[in-house]
Structure 1
């Protein structure tokens, strides 16, 4: 449109500013990470000691409704582990307000992705320092879609993969918001998370934990986790007490664990209760009808 260009040229000449159309904002946090610009190569820290404040951050990579809130509370009860509510730091972005700012950062050796990594690290480190603990644990399920970016940002990160029977995940996802999604839609939506977690499991080194094992044998599982993290096991992890977090600005969203000990989960679904779309993932994760602890 020539008239739009003329108005913009006149505005630029008079004020130095231009009008630009704002792109559509994706409110979902489960999609792929925003692709960086051509000059924002995603790369590890050039100087890990100077560029990263966090040491060996821990990420729980799990689908939605897989027991990650329970595991978060259990780990947060350890004296060395700070496991806050979901922080979604991967959605924090950095932009250059002017070309001069971009050139200045380039002179320092930073592209946009580098600066985003510095921001993510600083936010998580601040939470860790406030807690007075040694290691931070992030359990945001959508992180599974960004495992490559996260592993590049923190090369020394450690990973706990939390699995649950796919049909149980889908059922719980539907029950969480039955007015938003049908059982079939819940299964397909949850499957996206499962596939993302499985891709991460194949690409990264970490510890795989099953929700069914955590609820059936909490001491044995938490001891395995502590061994993996090179931490002494603490009995308080099994009686984690009440930990409640209400996140301001997120409406009625709450992350709350009731006081008490780890309780047994629901029974595994029978074969005829497994949606056909989830059968391949059931097999991939080694679940069989009636088997509580698959190999």
Structure 2
């Protein structure tokens, strides 16, 4: 073929490409609208994958119930790692293509089990870094998802930490810059209902914040018995240990917890009237009701 003929053919190809829509690589294809990555009507449930951490410990409590104090006492034990709030429930897996769920299903995985595997890996990584044997997560919102934690870790252990609902309401009211009393009571009730479900359902160690602050040695000895570790007096002197940064979203950051000393619990004000549902919870948890 002559040089002129080759040139004309090349020019024709270039013109055709110019008027044709551009080809898109895989990365340029928009993600499907189904951000969960599963097909509608697909009821597949993946089997539970092996866990790196077989029996983690979860503190279940309302907010403002002394879980940070309990954390630092436990973290002061030579065998127990209790980091700041881990917020595992906010770690999600995004299956961004319509075929991703099929690929994971072929590996006997679904979105929930992928998230559980991620949670387990995070727990194991933190435990391995600490060089300890037991890991404890004290994130209060775990209380709202305890059934899912139980699905993820059937052998998990639980510490149910109670505090008088009236004292929780008072503490939240003091902490908020513009408190809404109705919203605060609803929040405490939501936590309280789920916490009571866990208390009645799980084989958990149940304790109160009031007992922890009034008699910390006896209370922590009971905890150590439950966790099958020897009690250590260093647990009561948590101020001598490094527990990381005390700051918002990771736990309590008040001067009380920063003091390094166990201080008395603030009692509920008997003059403050609570909604009937919170009164019933307080009664079920063994608190005196006028």
Which digits, 9 at most, give the CA deviation of each residue in 1:36-65, with x for residues without a partner?
Answer: 98647666624xxxx211131000000000
| In structure 1, C-alpha distance between the alignment counterparts of 2:56 and 2:98, rounded to whole Å | 34
**TM-score of the aligned structures, taking structure 2 as reference length:** 0.80
2:46–2:105 contact (8 Å) kept in structure 1: no
Q: 1:280 to 1:12 in 2, by over 3 A?
A: farther
| In structure 1, C-alpha distance between the alignment counterparts of 2:86 and 2:22, rounded to whole Å | 39
| In structure 2, C-alpha distance between the alignment counterparts of 1:165 and 1:92, rounded to whole Å | 31
Q: Corresponding residue for 2:48?
A: 45
User: Which is greater in Rg?
Assistant: 2
Which digits, 9 at most, give the CA deviation of each residue in 1:95-119, with x for residues without a partner?
Answer: 2233443322211111111111110
Which digits, 9 at most, give the CA deviation of each residue in 1:251-270, with x for residues without a partner?
Answer: 99864732443222123422
Which digits, 9 at most, give the CA deviation of each residue in 1:26-85, with x for residues without a partner?
Answer: xxxxxxxxxx98647666624xxxx21113100000000000010001100011111111
| In structure 2, C-alpha distance between the alignment counterparts of 1:253 and 1:214, rounded to whole Å | 18
Report SS of the residue matched to 2:238: coil
**What is the CA distance between 1:90 and its match in structure 2?**
1.5
Over aligned residue pairs, what C-alpha RMSD do you find? 3.0
Map 1:21-36 onto structure 2 (within 5 A): none
2:122 maps to 1:134 = no
Deviates more, 1:258-267 or 1:132-141: 258-267
Q: Corresponding residue for 1:84?
A: 83
Q: Corresponding residue for 1:234?
A: 232
Q: Corresponding residue for 1:202?
A: 200
Report SS of the residue matched to 1:241: helix
Q: Corresponding residue for 1:3?
A: none
Deviates more, 1:160-169 or 1:234-243: 234-243
1:43–1:153 contact (8 Å) kept in structure 2: no
| In structure 2, C-alpha distance between the alignment counterparts of 1:39 and 1:202, rounded to whole Å | 33
Q: Which runs of 5+ in 2 are unaligned?
A: 1-20
Q: Which runs of 5+ in 1 are unaligned?
A: 1-10, 24-35, 291-295
Map 1:2-21 onto structure 2 (within 5 A): 17-18=29-30
Which digits, 9 at most, give the CA deviation of each residue in 1:213-242, with x for residues without a partner?
Answer: 000010000000000111100001111115
2:58–2:159 contact (8 Å) kept in structure 1: yes
Q: Corresponding residue for 1:95?
A: 94
| In structure 2, C-alpha distance between the alignment counterparts of 1:67 and 1:231, rounded to whole Å | 22
Report SS of the residue matched to 2:262: coil
Q: 1:22 to 1:97 in 2, by over 3 A?
A: closer
- Larger RCO, structures 1/2 (Cα 8 Å, 6+ apart): 2
Q: 1:21 to 1:37 in 2, by over 3 A?
A: closer
| In structure 1, C-alpha distance between the alignment counterparts of 2:136 and 2:102, rounded to whole Å | 35
Task: Tell me the matched-pair count.
Answer: 262
Report SS of the residue matched to 1:159: strand
1:75–1:81 contact (8 Å) kept in structure 2: yes
**TM-score of the aligned structures, taking structure 1 as reference length:** 0.79
